[in-house]
Structures are given as structure tokens and as C-alpha cells.
Amino acid sequence: MPRIRRIQIKNFRSIKNLDLEVDDLAIFVGDNDSGKSNILRALNLFFNDRIEGTEPLDFERDYNKFALTNQRAREIEVTLTFELPENYHARNGERAIWRKKWRSEGLRELRDWAGVRESQNRRGRTKWTENKFTSRSKVPALLSRVEFEYIPAIRGKDYLRSLRGRIFKVISEVSEQSFRDSSTNFEDAIGENVEALILDISEEIQDNALLKLPNDLSQIFETLDFLSGEQNISLEQRGDGVKGRYVPLILKFIADKKSSLLERGGTPYTFIWAYEEPENNLEMRRAQETAELFERLAAGNTTQILLTTHSPIFFNAAGSEELSVSTVFVSKPDDETGSLGQTMTPSISDLDSRMGVMAIVAPHMAEAMASLQAVDQQRADLQQAINDLTANTRMIYVEGQSDNIVFSALINAMNISTDTPVVVAAPPQRAGANYVANMLRAWEYKTKHLDTERFRAIGFVDCDSEGERALKQFSDEMKRHKFVKLFPLPFSQTVTEAHNLGIQFSNCLEELFPNEWWVHAFDQDWLGERDIDGILSHSALIEIANQRTTRDNLYLGRAWELHARYHILDAHKIQFANWVASLESEILLGGLSVLSEMLREELGRIGVQFIAPPL
């Protein structure tokens, strides 16, 4: 599809002379009354011959009051440069330019367009040369298939009503025959019920009357409603934010249906949305979801999106290999200068003076939203796990997939009797200590209400800040539990010695692995350097500050030096766990003797029997 890559506007409202480059997703940011909306309205004038809604151009009102005519006729001019699809380049050039000019009497020329070809001059600089389209060029047909949609900032009842009416128009084109059949059936049903009326008219007035649906049912579709929920609540009765979220989905539906009309080899449609302040009436999470929807649509092959915004969520949109994003900062120093656009990001202090703290807040907003989404997914995963909980066998809960792999290997190495099986539950993504504690809470609640045999469950959490909080909260809440128990991972000699010397890395499962296993991980490039200064205890820092020792002396030459200097990279935790699980039972149980002995003892307490002592 062709994409707008350059916008040039002259003498339209607050815009005296504006020249901008834009990408697949173009974001216009700036203060109120800076002229952001006038950019989108100028494009609406260009494509749809109206400013907003059904409002036509009023030249005297819309012509820039400070324009310099230089004794020429007054003109409003909009010039768009499109990037053409690659299969159009050879005959037409890499780009196409389309100009429109208005004078007081109206539009001067509808199709002032040309191809633009890229070349190099003698100095190696890029230059663009215009060339008129030949009679065989398909670019005019391509540009004529651009469907431009202006979405106003206030998306009220009238706007939604018109959108619903357009649903009829597009689906009647797609399914003309089925619509005709349905209309005929509907007319027949009406005729059966008003047959007496038709007979009276025929007898009394001598007029052969028929009741027939209008050819254009768009007005009927405008009154259709979207109902939701068990109570079938009307969309008209829901909040403006909910209504607003329907808009891009309806537009996408219309675009998809219209695209499906094309016959093979036909000139494709291009859809360009000019969206005013999509964040209006949306709380933060819904605004983030809408921003992600826009990014997906703009990354596709049919839709380009240009939007104005004051929201850090939209301002912070990031590009990717599939999506190019441009941010234009629009300002208006004074009325005479008019609206200006800047595509390069100004300094933070400059942004702060123009737009408050938005530019500073934006990165933190994105991070907060990502964390919130992760929590939501974790909650959904946990709820699903609780719903699936049957409590019909002994269970072990652990924090993550790598823990699950190692614990399962330990269980398999312990020669547990098939009469008393135990299962290590597979945790969902991003499980963590709170997942373990919550599953044990659910187990306790479900088990104590069972009439059948009641099994017990245990859980293990890391000795880090999250694990310690989960343990404390669990202990405070579950004072009379009978069927569950939550444990911190035991401390190995390595961890104990390191902590005593002031190197306080968290006691996670991998820290219990012996040094020779860590050497293997180091050789496989599964380790990343640790910020040692960040894990030194207060007492160790004092010793170093008083020059009684050095940081290196705390760990160099120790059997656990690798533990202090490195950590397991998240991307390789599963690989490391699988390698550990592949070890022979004797090596596995011996290497994790502290954990395996504790695990065997606790399994015995919940009724697990062993065929023979572990090797």
C-alpha cells in the first residue's frame, strides 16, 4: 500500500508553511492550540473535501490570516508525497506526489499528481525528479483508492450512529445477494401481518399498495445497538470510554470488509486514519490496549495511522522491524509565525517547558504498564491454576519452570513408592513466590472441605525479598493450616560462607548447585556478571572503606568465587536446569544433598514412602 511520507501545508488556519516527514504511525504532540488538529483537518480537506464532519471549506475563515501573498492569488495548498509499493517503482519512481490547491472559488485541480524518481547527482547527493504519469500507469488508480478517515476528538452519539450506518453499506456490498434475499423474506413477513390493511387500502381507495423496505438500509443500521453482558446493556448506556473503544474496531471491520471486495489483481485499498486524541475518556490500562491495537494495525499492509495526543502512553510508542514510528512536536510561537513541526526530539528541559512533565513521565508510564500487564497475566494464570486444582494427590509447588525441572528430577531419583506418588506442579509463566503461597492457600481451603481422602502439599520459595515477604504473609495468615506447609530453600555451605563474609546474593535454587556445575555453566556462556558492589553487606563496605580488606579479597580463590562474580542468565536457566536433571541420580542427589535430604524428610511427613533409601 502507498504510505504518506511527507506532508506540506500552506496557508491553512494556524498553519502558514509546514513541511513534515511521517512514518507508518505518526504521532503529533504539542500544547493546546498549537495546531496539531489543523494538520489532520487539512488532510481531511485533501481527501474528503471537508474539514470536520460534514463541514465544508470556508475559504475566508480557513485561509491563514498572516499569509504572505506577494501579489499572487490567495491559495491554500496541501501537497502529499507517498512512498509507493516496490512493484510500482520501475515505471513510476519510488514515490508519488499529489498536490491540491484551493482558492476562494474552490478547488483548482483534483488530480495534480506525478511520479518522483530517486537519483544521485555528481556529488553523490540524493535528488528527486518529478515525472508525469503515463497513460498506462496504475498509480492514479492506486491513489484514488485511498480511504481517509478523520476521527474527531469528541466521538459522540452522532458519530457512532454514522459508523453503524456505514456497516450496512459495506456488508451490503460484500453480501449483496444474501442481503437481497433477507430483505425479501423480511418484506414477506411484514406483508403477512399487514395483509388486512393492504386489502382495505385496495378496496376503499382503489390503490394497489405494497409495503417495501427502502433500498438504503443505512438509517435502520444507524439505530442498531451493541448489547453486552448478561443483562444485555445497551452501548448507548455505557460510558464514553467504552463507546470510544468500539470506534477503531468498527473502522477495522469496515476496512477488512472493503478489502475483501477486491477481485484478484484489482487495485488495493489504502486506509489512512487521522485520529484526534484517542486517549479521551480512557483510563490508563485501556489507553495502553488501544495504543497496542494502533501499533498492530499500522504495522500491517493496509492502514496508516496519524494521531494527535497529550498522553504519554501514545507519545511513548516505539518502532520495530515491522513498524516505523515518527513523533512530531507541534508548537506555535505566536499567531503570525503559525504552527511549526519538529520531528527530532528536543531537550528534556525544552519539552518540560512546552508540555509539562509528559516527556519525563512517558518512559516510566510504559514500564509501569508493562508491569501491570504482567501482574494481570499472572493473576489470570493463577486463577486458572486454582480452578483446575483437584487436590487428589500429594503436591509440591515451586516458583518457576527451571525449579520444576530440578525438583522433578530429584523426585525421580528418590525411588518413591508408586503407592504414594507425589507431583511437582508445573507453574505458569512468571509464577514466583506469591504463586506458591497462593496455591497452598487454595489447597488448604479445598482439602479441608473434602469428604474423600485428603492429601497434603508443600511449597518452596527462594530466600530473596519476594520469598521472604511471601513466607511472612503466609505465616501470619495461615496459623492453623493442616494440609500445607511453605518452606524457604535451605542454605548450602557455599551460601552460608559467602553471606558470613558479606557477599549477600539471594539464595535461589541455582546457588545450591556445587561449584563444578557452575564451571560447566560458565563454559557454556550461561552466566552473566553480577554487580558485586550491589550485594555487599554494610559491614563488608565498612571493612573495605577502612582498608582492612578489599572487595576482591572477599571472594578471590574461594570455592564459590563463580557464585559471587556471576549469576545465571534468565535466558539460560532452563538449559542449566535440563543439564542438571540429566545427571545420574547419585551425582544429582549428592550435589544437592542439602536440598534432597530436606525434601526427603518433608515428603515422609506428608505420607510419601520410599522403596529404598536414595543412592
- What torsion do the CA atoms of 424, 429, 434, 437 make, to the nearest 10 degrees? -20
Q: Please indicate, yes or no, if residue 336 is contained in any of the structural domains.
A: yes
Q: Please indicate, yes or no, if residue 193 is contained in any of the structural domains.
A: yes
Q: What is the mean pLDDT of residues 411-434?
A: 90
| Cβ burial, residue 612 (10 Å; 0-12/13-18/19+) | exposed
**Same domain (yes/no): 498, 561:** yes
- Residue 307 β-bridge partners: 27, 275
**Domain termination site, one of 351, 369, 387:** 369
Q: Please indicate, yes or no, if residue 17 is contained in any of the structural domains.
A: yes
Q: Is 504 helix (H, G, I), strand (E, B) or coil?
A: coil
**Same domain (yes/no): 222, 281:** no
Task: Put the strands of the sheet holding 457-461 in their side by side order.
Answer: 422-424, 394-397, 457-461, 484-488
**Domain termination site, one of 339, 369, 399:** 369
> For 323-346, how does the pLDDT look when each residue is reduced to its tens digit (9 = 90+)?
888 889 898 889 889 999 887 554
Q: What CATH number does residue 302 fall under?
A: 3.40.50.300
**Same domain (yes/no): 113, 169:** no
> For 355-366, how does the pLDDT look when each residue is reduced to its tens digit (9 = 90+)?
555 555 656 666
Distance CA 146, CA 97 (A): 14
Q: How far is CA 461 from CA 48, 425, 435, 464, in A?
A: 62, 14, 10, 8
Q: Please indicate, yes or no, if residue 581 is contained in any of the structural domains.
A: no
Structural domains counted in the chain: 3
**Same domain (yes/no): 12, 138:** yes
- What percent of the chain lies above the pLDDT cut of 90? 32
Distance CA 381, CA 400 (A): 13
**Same domain (yes/no): 167, 141:** no
Reply yes or no on whether the pLDDT at 560 is more than 90: no
**Same domain (yes/no): 28, 88:** yes
Q: How many residues in total does the chain contain?
A: 615
Lowest pLDDT segment from 257-266, 295-304, 455-464: 257-266
Q: Please indicate, yes or no, if residue 141 is contained in any of the structural domains.
A: yes
**Same domain (yes/no): 279, 359:** yes
**Same domain (yes/no): 116, 19:** yes
DSSP string over 346-388: --HHHHHHHHTTHHHHHHHHHHHHHHHHHHHHHHHHHHHHHHH
Q: Please indicate, yes or no, if residue 527 is contained in any of the structural domains.
A: yes
DSSP string over 170-235: HHHHHTHHHHHHHHHHHHHHHHHHTHHHHHHHHHHH---------S--HHHHHT---EETTTTEEG
**Same domain (yes/no): 8, 108:** yes
| Cβ burial, residue 89 (10 Å; 0-12/13-18/19+) | middle
Domain span at 508: 493-572
Contact yes or no for 315/29 (Cβ under 8 A): yes
Share the mean pLDDT of the chain. Answer: 81
Q: What is the mean pLDDT of residues 584-604?
A: 94
**Same domain (yes/no): 130, 34:** yes
Contact yes or no for 19/80 (Cβ under 8 A): no
**Same domain (yes/no): 27, 121:** yes
Lowest pLDDT segment from 73-82, 143-152, 214-223, 246-255: 214-223
**Same domain (yes/no): 139, 278:** yes
